[in-house]
């Protein structure tokens, strides 16, 4: 008998609900809805007025969410390959990983990845060396990744590249940008006329009113300490500050995940800021123990740069109309492991944003090196790893890795590595396209430290089972929230259709 598909707990399953959030907002396509105050955050659908009406598109998204709720399904052969891939990466052994890629194209090995949405048995992911053409089915993924050995280094080095595409057919860039602006305006309307704690309470109330099941599901795993604030009378800062609550996770019936959260709570303090010439446009951050968040400032649907807590209104970025912008990423932070500390700072990654009626593209170019500092942070293990010259060796090998990234796939003095997020409406999908160079870290101590870190941060099967259960609940909650809002969206769509004589109907 053919082998039955089985669920595999891997990082894709944990990212599924982010695709769901994207799908709920980006995937809704409808006519202009007349009452923004009543629709709340669902007002974002009004910008997407091409293709199917809002309710038809919403039903498609809900079906996708329910498919995601059933988990990732792979066959036995793919599951075995994924296990071998994980082991090879944990050991920093790209030689081993390279040999296990299923297709040989000259001296490069390549794997194709395909995931089909809308499946009654779950979200199917397969590794197919032949590849498959892109699909117009909402939620389908298609892509490939490859490794190729590079001859210019004495030790093993590889050039890596790949593309991952997500079908959102059919959405044009101008609609997606207008949707983001409408979402910002909806948040501003929710907090209109408030100040101090009232602003925070108003944003929280808006989210809980529009997504009651989803926020209730999230309450079982995390606490939101802050939702937003006023930076000026007419500038709202959405400032989500959350913390993962291990005790609450355990009480909700997920003990393995609770233990994992406690173990990982103090591993990292990291932040990545999007830098505008006149301040920060937004920041994603992680803080010990178990805290994380995102913040950005908006005014009239535009992003406002902020420097030292002060907004610069004259240089606001209009989400809906800006055609091009030169920005930068600023990653910095500290990673802790068994009494050691790796700090990365003073790193700038240029970003280029371009958009037209036919395409949208956000590109990151990695050509510069960060400042790296490795040292003991207390404890016997940290002293053994970081002493006797090993600290300098580990620092050197960390820099060697970053040097490979800055060189790019063309080798020394190359053009650097690039990662591009592109929207191609004619093809009906978003795509992430990356090309970079990898230099292996072949120091024995480095490999030992990497294995310890890898086995520390890679969750056990019981943890993955808990994560899949939580993901299932979140996907079902998102789908339920859509169906609860559907009647209101349908009524608004029908009212607008009657007013303009289009006869658009949102009923099934």
For 131, left (φ over 0), alpha (ψ -120 to 50), or beta?
A: left
More confident residue, 324 or 12: 324
Among residues 448, 416, 450, which one has the least CA distance to residue 342? 450
CB atoms within 10 A of CB 195: 10
Q: Specify the pLDDT at position 97.
A: 67
Q: Are 352 and 326 contacting, i.e. CB atoms less than 8 angstroms apart?
A: yes
Q: Specify the pLDDT at position 384.
A: 52
CB atoms within 10 A of CB 59: 17
Q: Specify the pLDDT at position 24.
A: 42
Residue 178 has pLDDT above 60, yes or no: yes
Q: Specify the pLDDT at position 365.
A: 82
| pLDDT per residue as tens digits for the range 97-122 | 666 666 656 666 677 777 776 666 66
Q: Are 203 and 318 contacting, i.e. CB atoms less than 8 angstroms apart?
A: no
Cis amide prior to 104 (ω within 30 degrees):
no
Q: Specify the pLDDT at position 141.
A: 78
pTM of the shown model:
0.76
CB atoms within 10 A of CB 487: 12
Q: Are 334 and 358 contacting, i.e. CB atoms less than 8 angstroms apart?
A: no
Q: Specify the pLDDT at position 3.
A: 41
Tokens of 58: 């919403």
More confident residue, 304 or 428: 304
In angstroms, the CA 287 to CA 336 distance is 12
What is the average pLDDT across 467-479?
89
Q: Specify the pLDDT at position 21.
A: 42
Dihedral through CA 10, CA 16, CA 18, CA 20, nearest 10? 180
Residue 196 has pLDDT above 80, yes or no: yes
How confident is the prediction for the chain on average, in pLDDT?
Answer: 74
| pLDDT per residue as tens digits for the range 29-40 | 333 434 555 788
Confidence of residue 161 (pLDDT cuts 50, 70, 90): confident
Residue 203 has pLDDT above 90, yes or no: yes
Confidence of residue 49 (pLDDT cuts 50, 70, 90): low
């Amino acid at each position: 008998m053919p082998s039955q598909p089985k669920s595999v707990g891997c990082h894709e399953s944990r990212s599924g609900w982010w695709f769901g959030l994207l799908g709920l907002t980006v995937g809704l396509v409808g006519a202009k809805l007349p009452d923004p105050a009543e629709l709340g955050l669902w007002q974002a659908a009004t910008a997407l007025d091409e293709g199917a009406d809002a309710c038809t598109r919403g039903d498609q998204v809900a079906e996708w969410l329910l498919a995601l709720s059933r988990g990732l399904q792979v066959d036995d052969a793919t599951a075995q390959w994924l296990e071998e891939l994980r082991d090879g990466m944990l050991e920093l052994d790209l030689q081993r990983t390279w040999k296990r890629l299923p297709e040989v194209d000259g001296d490069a090995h390549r794997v194709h990845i395909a995931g089909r949405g809308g499946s009654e048995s779950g979200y199917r992911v397969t590794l197919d060396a032949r590849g498959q053409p892109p699909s117009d089915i909402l939620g389908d993924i298609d892509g490939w990744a490859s490794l190729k050995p590079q001859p210019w280094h004495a030790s093993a080095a590889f050039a890596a590249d790949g593309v991952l595409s997500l079908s959102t057919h059919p959405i044009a860039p101008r609609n997606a940008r207008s949707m983001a602006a409408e979402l910002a305006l909806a948040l501003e309307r929710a907090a209109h006329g408030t100040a101090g704690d009232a602003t925070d309470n108003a944003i929280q109330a808006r989210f809980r009113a529009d997504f009651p099941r989803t926020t209730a599901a999230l309450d079982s795993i995390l606490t939101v300490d802050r939702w937003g604030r006023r930076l000026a009378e007419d500038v709202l800062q959405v400032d989500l500050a959350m913390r993962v609550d291990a005790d609450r996770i355990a009480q909700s019936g997920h003990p393995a995940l609770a233990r994992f959260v406690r173990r990982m709570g103090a591993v990292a303090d990291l932040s990545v800021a999007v830098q505008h010439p006149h301040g920060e446009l937004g920041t994603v951050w992680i803080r010990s123990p178990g805290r994380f968040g995102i913040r950005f400032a908006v005014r009239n649907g535009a992003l406002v740069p902020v420097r030292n807590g002060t907004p610069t209104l004259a240089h606001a970025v209009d989400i809906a109309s800006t055609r091009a912008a030169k920005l930068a990423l600023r990653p910095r932070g500290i990673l802790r492991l068994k009494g050691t500390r790796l700090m990365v700072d003073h790193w700038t990654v240029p970003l280029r944003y371009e958009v037209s009626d036919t395409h949208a593209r956000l590109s990151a170019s990695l050509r510069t090196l960060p400042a790296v500092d490795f040292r003991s942070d207390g404890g016997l293990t940290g002293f053994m790893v970081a002493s006797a010259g090993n600290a300098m060796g580990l620092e050197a090998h960390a820099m060697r890795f970053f040097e490979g990234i800055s060189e790019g796939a063309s080798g020394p003095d190359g053009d650097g590595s690039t990662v591009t997020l592109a929207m191609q409406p004619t093809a009906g999908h978003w795509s992430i396209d990356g090309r970079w160079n990898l230099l292996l870290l072949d120091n024995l101590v480095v490999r030992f430290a990497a294995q310890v870190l890898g086995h520390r941060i890679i969750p056990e099967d019981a943890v993955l089972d808990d994560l899949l259960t939580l993901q299932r609940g979140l996907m079902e909650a998102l789908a339920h929230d859509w169906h609860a809002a559907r009647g209101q969206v349908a009524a608004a769509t029908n009212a607008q259709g009657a007013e303009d004589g289009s006869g658009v109907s949102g009923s099934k």
